Amino acid sequence: MKKLIKMEFKRVFHSKMFYLSLGIGLLITTLQWIEVGLPMAVNIVDGYIPSEVSTPYSAFESFFGLAGPPLVYRQIYYTIAPILAVMAHAVTLCGDKASGYVKNLYIRSKRQDYYTAKYIVSGIAGGIAVTAPIAANFLWNLMMLPAIEPMASMAIYPYGIGLWSDVLYTNPYLFILLYILLIFFYQFIFVNVALILSRRVTNRFLVVILPFLLNYFFHMLVVNIRKYRLSPIVIFDMTNIRSLEFREVFAEGVLLVAVTSLLYFWQVKKDEALS
């Protein structure tokens, strides 16, 4: 098992698709930094208004996850997150089956070990591909702007914070870390869906695009029935105007990861019994 996991990680870091996924994410977060963070860095003191409760511009104000308009970069990023997560490595299962690579591995290792290694590495690679550009954006802002911690009295976020608003104003670094971990964890859902599809679908494009379409249709459904808080697109937004309950977000994430994981391994076990 360990050898297979190491081999899968080696494939990840030699994969063009992984770097393409990272590159798309970095492009979006970099464009946001150029349009928001860079002007703030050039005119740091413009954020300070003596007659009001204010401070110079800070790294937290320009950070991708917390910055104000334009919001289009964040909206695009969170919407296409399933594509980035699946492209990172999960899509290779489809290719492995089509090329006969899987059959060659069966001779040297257990079928269950291969699919378990693929599951673990695909989930981690997908999480890295989606969260690394967000973390990189924060680092760029820290290098260019002072790390002045947000103050509730400044009303920078008048509509509230989706989750952990108390943490934002007491330990903003922990707040950002928690959100990045949350987004990382949710990528396992999209990756699992892709792995399940790969067991039956041979077209790589469909494997990449279907988790995205399912997530987007689910988002539209819950928006129409006014259950916004169930949508991953809404959950990922740190400045979401609709307050979220961590218990609900955590329960939904764990439930969806568990269900998709069980379905994936059930397929693996079923196919193993038939072979």
Give the model's pLDDT for residue 130.
98
User: Where is pLDDT greater, at 67 or 209?
Assistant: 209
Summary mean pLDDT of the chain: 87
| 91-120: average pLDDT | 80
Helix (H) or strand (E) holding 220: helix 204-224
Give the model's pLDDT for residue 154.
61
Give the model's pLDDT for residue 134.
97
CA angle 145, 151, 154 (to 5 degrees): 95
For 52, 60, 65, 81, 104, the CA distances from 137, given in Å and listed in that order, are: 29, 11, 9, 16, 41
pLDDT at 201 over 60: yes
Confidence tier at 31 by pLDDT (50, 70, 90): very high
Distance CA 85, CA 274 (A): 31
Say which range, 4-18, 164-178, 245-259, has the weakest mean pLDDT.
164-178
Q: How many domains is the chain partitioned into structurally?
A: 1
pLDDT at 158 over 60: no
User: Where is pLDDT greater, at 195 or 168?
Assistant: 195
For 70, 104, 237, the CA distances from 110, given in Å and listed in that order, are: 50, 11, 41
Residue range of the domain that includes 68 = 2-274
| 20-27: average pLDDT | 97
Distance of CA 237 to the CA centre of its chain: 11
Single pTM value for the model: 0.91
pLDDT at 273 over 60: no
pLDDT per position as a tens digit, 73-87: 999 999 999 999 999
- What's the farthest any 2 CA atoms get from each other in the chain? 76
Give the model's pLDDT for residue 148.
86
Distance CA 105, CA 96 (A): 10
Give the model's pLDDT for residue 156.
58
Q: Per the structure block, which two tokens stand in for 243?
A: 């307050």
* Phi and psi based region of residue 164 (left: phi greater than 0; alpha: psi -120 to 50; beta: remaining): left
First to last CA, the chain: 21
| 241-253: average pLDDT | 83
